[in-house]
């Protein structure tokens, strides 16, 4: 059975955990190029609400920008799923 776990990435936005490939910092030049290429191709979602991008979430369908730190997002991913509902 596949569990669909929503991960809060800030400001009420969520990404499904099973779609996430990587959560990385946006500081390096290769990641900045990857972000620009995704913007050019239209496969990016900016969920920062105008704040500084602190995490780049690579999914199987594109890139999501978040204002939360990568450590915060990864800790939310690793939390156990509450499937009692």
State pLDDT tens for residues 41-77: 999 999 999 999 999 999 999 999 999 999 999 999 9
Q: Give the pLDDT score at 3.
A: 73
Confidence of residue 2 (pLDDT cuts 50, 70, 90): low
C-alpha pair distances (Å), 45 with each of 9, 11, 21, 39: 12, 14, 15, 9
CA angle 49, 65, 8 (to 5 degrees): 80
Q: Is the pTM of this model over 0.85?
A: yes
Structure tokens at 60: 């199987």
Contact call for residues 26 and 35 (beta carbons, < 8 A): yes
Residue-wise pLDDT tens digits, 24-35: 999 999 999 999
Percent of the chain at pLDDT exceeding 90: 87
Question: Cα–Cα distance between 12 and 47 in angstroms, integer?
Answer: 9
Cα 76 to its chain centre, rounded Å, is 11
């Amino acid at each position: 059975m596949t569990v669909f776990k929503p991960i809060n990435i800030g400001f009420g936005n969520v990404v499904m955990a099973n779609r996430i490939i990587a959560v990385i910092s946006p500081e390096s030049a290769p990641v900045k190029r990857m972000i620009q290429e995704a913007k050019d191709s239209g496969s990016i979602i900016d969920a920062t609400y105008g704040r500084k991008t602190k995490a780049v979430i690579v999914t199987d369908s594109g890139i999501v920008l978040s204002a939360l730190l990568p450590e915060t997002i990864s800790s939310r991913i690793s939390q156990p799923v509450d499937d009692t509902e």
